[in-house]
Amino acid sequence: MKAMFYPGCSMQRNARPYLDSLQAIKGDIDLELQEIADWNCCGATEYMSVHRVAAHSLVGRNLALAQHQATGTDLLTAGCSACYLNLAKTDAQMREDAQLKGTVNEALAAGGLAYQPGRLKVRHLLDIVCHDIGYAAIQAKVVKPLHGLKVAAYYGCQVVRPDYDGRWDSHERPTSMDKLLQALGAEPVDWSLKTQCCGGHMSVIGPDVAFGLIRRLIHGAREAGADMVVTLCPMCQLNLDAYQVEMNKHFHTDYQVPVLYFTQLMGLALGKPAKELGIGKEFVDAAPALAKIQAEAPKAEATKRKRRPKASDGLPMPGMESRHD
């Protein structure tokens, strides 16, 4: 199947393993992605509350570009929860609010663009993988089942909660990623925190609050018996992985719970080399957990390189640029 693809800023940098693993597996699962040419940042989670019209215009430009570039598909997908939410929200609110639609299109006209809301169906990548490609089709492609690997599927607080065009999973107890993990041969653990917030950008503006949320999630996953956490959101992966060391220092704990993307586990099950999937780019080393499935994974780069020092105000400053140079 084919879809327009909005990668978003995170996939170009700190979430590069998400993009790399997606590119590695898309051919195996018969997924054709047409990246939007000249896309721009979606504004992430904060901009909508700062300037509504400007924020929708920023997102509307991506929708307009996708609409005009699409060939043979009306689907638009994103792997980032914030990107997906913003694209879906702008499309829905432009449909419902004629004044907003006119104002946004007036702004887009300055660049020779226009967007007709409703022309595209905005879907999250996980939704398409699970419900369009399907669990059975994916299971049929598995060559190295992940038997013996216990995984906590973590959805985060954004992706299953919007209800613009019909919710595709439960907003309290989603199961789509759990079913995907089962199709790959892994064992999803039963835990109650799969849609709890990771702290988002609080890791930068209020680290004490974020550390409490991160600790709750990591502790919950470990208590449930998980070898690792698997997510679909770059911000969730960043907080739980990159800030886990700082959280341990803050609470005098010693959690070592690796956090990977669902596409990386798909790649392993489909027989792709770990390095091709970006495994080894994480901060908390995934190699010990992956040894349970006899996967040869490179040692995490974060354990081999010196990290940037903290800023003078004491905020944690993970050296993201060192992960993907």
Asked if residue 113 and residue 56 are part of one domain, the reply reads: yes
| pLDDT score, position 254 | 96
Query: Are 298 and 149 within one domain?
Result: yes
Whether residue 10 contacts residue 22, with contact meaning beta carbons closer than 8 Å, is answered with no
- Does residue 168 have a pLDDT over 90? no
Residue 249 lies in a domain: yes
Mean per-residue pLDDT for 1-20? 95
Asked whether residue 103 falls in the same domain as residue 216, the answer is no
Place of tokens 């974020």: 210
User: Does 324 have pLDDT greater than 50?
Assistant: no
Our count of domains for the chain comes to: 2
44: CATH = 1.20.1050.140
Residue 241 belongs to a domain? yes
User: Which residues touch 189 (CB under 8 Å, ≥6 apart)?
Assistant: 150, 151, 152, 221, 224, 225, 226
Within-domain flag for 81: yes
Looking at the structure, tell me whether residues 116 and 34 fall in a common domain.
yes
pLDDT for residue 319: 42
Q: Is residue 79 part of a domain?
A: yes
**Model pLDDT, residue 199:** 87
Where is average pLDDT lowest: 162-166, 233-237, 297-301?
A: 162-166
Would you state the pLDDT for residue 306?
47
Residues 110 and 213 in one domain: no
More confident residue, 163 or 196: 196
The residue out of 80, 96, 124 marking a domain boundary is 124
Parallel/antiparallel/unpaired status of strands 121-124 and 2-6: unpaired
Q: Which residue has the tokens 């990977």?
A: 260
Of the three residues 76, 99, 124, the one that is the final residue of a domain is: 124
Instruction: Provide mean pLDDT across the span 256-282.
Output: 98
Using a 10 angstrom Cβ sphere, with 0-12 exposed, 13-18 middle and 19 or more buried, the burial of residue 311 is: exposed
CATH number at residue 196: 3.40.50.11810
| pLDDT at residue 309, as a whole number | 47
Strand partners, 121: 75
pLDDT tens digits for range 124-136: 999 999 999 999 9
Q: Are residues 272 and 161 part of one domain? A: yes
Residues in a beta bridge with 5: 35, 77
**Residue 182 scores a pLDDT above 50:** yes
What pTM did the predictor assign? 0.91
Q: Does the pLDDT at position 50 exceed 50?
A: yes
* CA dihedral for 68, 73, 74, 80, sign (positive or negative): negative
Of 124, 158, 193, the one marking the end of a domain is 124
Predicted local confidence at residue 318, as pLDDT: 42
Domain range spanning residue 168?
135-323
pLDDT mean across residues, the chain: 90
pLDDT tens digits for range 225-266: 999 999 999 999 999 999 999 999 999 999 999 999 999 999
The Cα 64–Cα 42 span in angstroms is 13
The residue that leads in pLDDT, 286 or 45, is: 286
Give the pLDDT band (50/70/90) at residue 295.
Answer: confident
In a domain, 130, yes or no: no
Residue 283 is assigned to a structural domain of this protein: yes
Where residue 3 falls among pLDDT bands split at 50, 70, 90?
very high
The verdict on 194 and 151 lying in the same domain is yes
Q: What is the mean pLDDT of residues 180-190?
A: 98
191 and 278: one domain?
yes
Indicate whether 295 and 208 sit together in one domain.
yes
Any domain includes 198: yes
Q: C-alpha dihedral over 61, 15, 203, 288, to 10 degrees?
A: 160
**Domain co-membership, 288 together with 216:** yes
Give the C-alpha separation, 298 to 12, whole Å. Answer: 21
* Span 262-282, average pLDDT: 97
Per-residue pLDDT at 302: 56
Mean pLDDT of all residues in 129-152: 98
139 closest CA partner among 6, 28, 17, 280:
28
Sign of CA dihedral 203, 206, 208, 213: negative
Torsion, Cα 13 288 318 157, to 10 degrees, reads 70
In a domain, 129, yes or no: no
